Structures are given as C-alpha cells and as structure tokens.
Structure 1
Amino acid sequence: MSDDDHVDDGPGGGLTTGEVARRLGVAPTTVRSWDRRYGLGPDAHTGGRHRRWTPADVARLERMCALTATGLPPAEAARLARAGTPPPKTAPLPGPGPRAARPRDRNRTGLRLGGARRECRGLARAALRLDAVALDGLLSAVIADHGLVTAWTEVIMPTLQAVGRKWESSGEKYVEVEHFLSWHVSGALRRCVPAAPPVSPAPPAPGAPPGSGDRPGATVLLACVPGENHTLPLEVLTAALAERGVPVRMFGAALPVEALVGAVRRTGPAAVGLWAQSRTTASRPLAQHVAAMEWGVRGARRQPAVLTLGPGWAGGQAVPGLPRPPGLAEALAALEAVVPGDPRQGVTR
C-alpha cells in the first residue's frame, strides 16, 4: 500500500490523496499537480507525510473538475474553484421532476454516460480537461484491472460513444476531445502488449505465398476497407490477438483494394478481418473476392476465412456465408478457432 492509500482512522483524519483521486475519477498525480500549481491543497495540514482532505477540500476539487469539464483552462478554473464559484448549469435531461436537471445525472462531465461503469467518469473528465497524464494513467489502470476485452467493452467504448454523441450535438465544439481520447486509447492499446521475442521462421511450405514462412497459413490479417478510417476497434482486436499469441498483421485505415489483395497473396493468412464502420464503405464484392482467393499446390489449395467486422456489414450489406461477429469477444473466439495462439509469436505491424 502506498502513502497515498494510507487510511487514518484517528481523530480528525480526512481522505488521503489516493482516496480523493478515486472519488473524483482522476489520477493522484493530477490532484498533486492542482495542489502544487494552483493552491488547491487541503486547508489544514497534519503532521507526517500524509495529506488529509476534508469535505470542504474535496468540494473545491469537485468544482475544479466540473469547471475544467466545461472547457475552461485549468488556471482559470482553479481561480473560480478557490472563489467558490459553482460550475455553469447543464441543460436538464428529459424526464419529469427537478432531479433531471442535476449535474450528477451526467456524472458532472456533461456527457450522457447512463449506467456505465464508474471508470467511465474518470476517463471522460480527463478527456474533457485534455489531461494527458491522467488519461494515460486511467487507461493503463482499467486495462490492467479488467483485461482488454472488458476494459474495451464496458469502459473505453462507452466513453468514446459518449464523447461522440457530445460532439454530434455540439457542432465542432468537442472534436478535439474525441481526437485526444482516441489518440490516447490507441497508445494504451499498443503499450499493453509486450513485444514478442524473436522467433526463427520455419521454411515456407511448397506453393505457399512469399512471406508466409513463419507458421505458414497461421496468420490473421486485419484491415479497414477502402474509405474506412475508424481503426480503434481493429487496434483493440490486434492487441487482444497478440496478447493471446496469435500472429497478426494489422494494416490500419482505408487499405486500397489492390493493396489488400496484394497483402493477402503475399502472406497467405488463415483468416482476414475486414472492418467497416459505415454501410457506405462496406463492400460485399470485395469481401467475396478475398474469400475466393486461393494459394498452394494443386490438390491442397487453401482459402482464407473472412470475417466481416463492424456495423457497416449489417442489414443489406451482410455477406452470405461469411461470419459477422457482433463484438470483440466473439471476433476473438472466431479467429482463435481458425488460428490457435502460440506464445512464441507476436504482433507484426
């Protein structure tokens, strides 16, 4: 247990810095920074190394959180928080009664988070403040605590969706918040999977495509279809596969048709995942063409298993005969059924 997590049960004891940070949904370093830079520390000081925060101290920090969430620069928000200025009122939520207008219904972030996990509030606050240090710490903690699948499904994705809804309803006012959050999520996904040790490639099988010598036919290829730039869902799938030892090649956003076909021919993957966020980018002919590709010697020809990933493949864009996993866990299960994990292998980007 760190000093910040120490609990003082003695008379006059208050909350520790760690407890305050958890209550506010910010990193302890953020609380210390606000104390050091803006004078928002405890009014009373106790002996020893441990800082103690009273309800009045915490209320001041809550005002700071609420004010920065409106877009105020931290220095100005701190001045108003010290003066006791309340945050501006948010528009009431639909529904009868005075409770609908309380900021708490939006978790004091201005974002509609509904019944999402409490960690979403911390991520939303850090993103709205454009607080890189806090955001990186919170993302790393939620992935470490819950694992990639749960962290993505129950914390990261609901927060991204809430920020996206805020952007859509506010014009371009919050576009920087969505970009900032997406960038840091991408970085957290890359950091959470350790680099794989080098493995001596096996000789390619007769008739196998060039570049497929390291476990021929046992690779997953992931790419966004042409015109599709939403890469985060594929990035989390890449990280989760790599974590399980499934060799994966990730090609990112808007891979042109010729490049996609060339990559499949060169690597001879056992499975191909094609991401389409929108129905306007999903292409049934492209998915069918990739699924029909073959390689290998006569009598032992192979074809990739093609998964259509993302909401763009729903409805009329669904490809008969090709699986469309509804979520991350289902996509992982489908790909691991085709390409079993090998702890010696890692991600290839």
Structure 2
Amino acid sequence: MEKTASQADLGTGPRQSASREAGAGLTTGALARRLGVSPTTLRSWDRRYGIGPEVRGEGRHRRWTPRDVAVLEAMCRLTSAGVPPAEAARTASRGADDAVALADDAEAAPTGGARTRASGTLPLGDVRQECRGLARAAVRLDAPAVEQQLASAVDDHGIVVAWQEVMVPTLHAVGRKWASSGDRYVEVEHLLSWHVSSALRRCTRPLGTPGPAHAPGPVLLACVPGEQHSLPLEALNAGLCELGLPTRMFGGAVPAEALTAAVTRIGPAVVVLWAQTRSAASLPLAQHIAGAQWGVRGARGRPVVMLGGPGWLGRPGPGMLRPTSLKDALDVLTGLYSQGTPAGSQ
C-alpha cells in the first residue's frame, strides 16, 4: 500500500532520531534538551524522588534508558498540570511499571483463531515486540508514538496481519487490564481505540469511478441496532478497500428502518451485520435484510447476508455467511465478487 505523505513523515523526523539515541542511552544533557528542563532539575529529581537512570556509566556519568525517558516525560506532564513533584514522581514510576505489565499481557493475548498463511510469514517475535511497544505507548498516552506504530504495522504487513497480530492483541490486553483494575485504564482504551480507528480509516479510499451498470453492488457494512463496537467492521472495510472492492460503511448502531432503507436504495451485493453481544444480535432482522429486494419486476435482486461478530454464535442463519476471522471474511467476499454476480436475483 502506498504511504500518504503524513504516514511517510512519521518515521523519518527528529522523533525517530531521538528514539535511536534513547535506545543507546541518553546523556543527561541530551535528555534535558529533549524535555525542555535543566540538567540540574533532572539531578534534583533523581536525588529527591529516586527517578534516576537505571544505567550509570563509569564515574558519575548517567545514561537514561527508554524506560527512564518515559518516566521523565510523564513527570514533566504531571508537574506541568500542577501535580506536586513527589506525587508526580510516584505516578510516573508506577505508570512505567504498568506499561511493562500491560505489554506482557499483549504478548500473551490470543489473536482470535488459527494463524493465516499471510500472518505465518511474520515472525511471532516481531509481532510480540510490536504489541509490547504499542501497549507501552498507549499506557503513556503517547499519541504520536501510538499513531506511528499503528501506521508502521499497516504499511509493513497489510491490514489483515496488522489487525489480527498487532491491534487486536493490544486491545485485548488493555481491556483485560481495565476489567481487573476498576476504573483505571479507561483513558488508555479510549486513546488506543481512537487511533486504531484512525489508522484503519486512512486505508479507506473511495473508488475513483463507478463500475459498469451490470457490476455487483457494494458491500454494505453496519452494526445492528444497539451495537456500538464498530472497530472490527472498520477493519473489514479497510481490508475490502485494500482489495479494491466497493463498500458503504454505516458504522455503529444503525436503526433497523434506516438499514432497510439503505439496502433498497443501494442494492448491495452483500450486507455485513456486526453484533458483538448476543443481546444485540437479531436473527429476525438478518432474515428481513436477506429477503429485501430492489430493482424492476422480473429482475429483482437480493443481498447475500454475512453475520459477523461473537454475538451470532449459536444462532443459525440459513443461507447466511459466517466468517471466522477477518481473513476468512475477505477471502469469501473476494470469491463472491470474482463470480461477478454475488447477489441473489428473482
């Protein structure tokens, strides 16, 4: 996939140079310039609050590791917001430890199914490392780093691998940490979800020109009424755009009447209905959409209905598609479109 200008710039500016420098261990002077504080302040924080470097060279020379840098960046943000220095130091240090634990959770998170042929070409160690880095950036609320890492994952590996092997494990890790920590990490989940959505939407490009009149209609993607979890649907939309297939994305919680109206107006080849929870999944609605018709008498069309999400598990839908993963959904839809006429007709 071709990089946009903004995506290409993310990995080539001063931030990347600073990361390389931090990886080797920053000197106190270099770190002070990066943070906009004096070297005396860093030494004072080290002496008073114990947030000094993990690595010390020969003599009195300090070398600040990436973890040290993360702690000091958090310290600066907190003190700038008016938090007392002692409390800011405790919070910043705890946040760095939480980032390590969350990254470990991301490494162990399941990817939701068997590895695909595409993901099999990606070393598992590389994927775990990307998840760890993404989790740490998310816990630090380091939006530029989150954006950079997500863009790199998509550019390097494509939508399927980036979603299944990087985004999903990290999102699951944040969700588990939130569930086990009371109200903590809600802000982390919100920030990470927003940037995942942004990364996926950057991959969606409308087709330049409409297809011929006899070409199959687009894939209509919608969450069922009451369902707001649209990220998996956004991943499918991005994957279809990557393959050059036409889509119409409606997002979360589409009312039944509006969904029916959209189907009859657009004449989609396929309608994907996403339900994250069993309470939201409505088989009568899916059956109603499967029976919707459009076109002139004698040449009416009907959509193929694809049921996506765990909410549909255990709910049979005769004649409806039930993919098991993002790659499975893309393979099925690609196969339907290769036949030329995926929609039913009467």
CA-based RMSD: 4.0
- SS of the counterpart of 2:307? strand
Is structure 2 residue 330 aligned with structure 1 residue 332? yes
8 A Cα contact 1:123 1:135, kept in partner: yes
Aligned length: 287
**Separation in structure 1 between the aligned mates of residue 12 and residue 159 of structure 2, nearest angstrom:** 26
The one-letter code matched in structure 1 to 2:107 is G
Relative distance call for 1:5 and 1:132 in structure 2 (3 A) is: closer
Partner of 2:132: 121
Relative distance call for 1:85 and 1:165 in structure 2 (3 A) is: closer
Is structure 2 residue 236 aligned with structure 1 residue 237? yes
Partner of 1:253: 252
Is structure 2 residue 168 aligned with structure 1 residue 157? yes
CA deviations on 1:60-87 (whole Å, 9 max, x unpaired) are: 431343687xx8664559x78xx99993
- SS of the counterpart of 2:306? strand
**Separation in structure 2 between the aligned mates of residue 21 and residue 150 of structure 1, nearest angstrom:** 28
Partner of 2:190: 179
Partner of 2:50: none
Alpha-carbon distance, 1:33 to partner = 9.3
8 A Cα contact 1:66 1:108, kept in partner: no
The one-letter code matched in structure 1 to 2:20 is E
The one-letter code matched in structure 1 to 2:148 is G
**Separation in structure 2 between the aligned mates of residue 268 and residue 33 of structure 1, nearest angstrom:** 60
Tell me, which stretches of 5 or more residues in structure 2 are unaligned? 1-10, 43-52, 57-61, 109-126, 341-346
Alpha-carbon distance, 1:273 to partner = 0.3
Relative distance call for 1:89 and 1:188 in structure 2 (3 A) is: closer
The one-letter code matched in structure 1 to 2:143 is A
Tell me whether 183-192 or 222-231 shows the greater mean CA deviation. Answer: 183-192
Partner of 1:148: 159
8 A Cα contact 2:134 2:146, kept in partner: yes
8 A Cα contact 1:224 1:230, kept in partner: yes
Is structure 2 residue 139 aligned with structure 1 residue 138? no
The one-letter code matched in structure 2 to 1:327 is S
- SS of the counterpart of 1:87? helix
TM-score (norm 2): 0.70
CA deviations on 1:213-236 (whole Å, 9 max, x unpaired) are: xx4x33100000000000111111
Tell me, which stretches of 5 or more residues in structure 1 are unaligned? 7-15, 25-30, 44-52, 91-102, 206-214, 343-349
TM-score (norm 1): 0.69
Q: Spell out the pairing of 1:77-88 with structure 2 (5 A cutoff).
A: 87-88=93-94
CA deviations on 1:194-249 (whole Å, 9 max, x unpaired) are: 4543x2565x56xxxxxxxxx4x331000000000001111111111111110000
**Separation in structure 2 between the aligned mates of residue 244 and residue 324 of structure 1, nearest angstrom:** 20
- SS of the counterpart of 1:307? strand
- SS of the counterpart of 2:333? helix
Please point out which of 319, 322, 331 is paired with 1:321: 319
8 A Cα contact 1:126 1:134, kept in partner: yes
Tell me whether 333-342 or 126-135 shows the greater mean CA deviation. Answer: 333-342
8 A Cα contact 1:268 1:304, kept in partner: yes
The one-letter code matched in structure 2 to 1:119 is E
Alpha-carbon distance, 1:18 to partner = 4.0
**Separation in structure 2 between the aligned mates of residue 84 and residue 175 of structure 1, nearest angstrom:** 20
Alpha-carbon distance, 1:302 to partner = 2.2
Partner of 2:70: 65
- SS of the counterpart of 2:36? helix
- SS of the counterpart of 1:274? strand
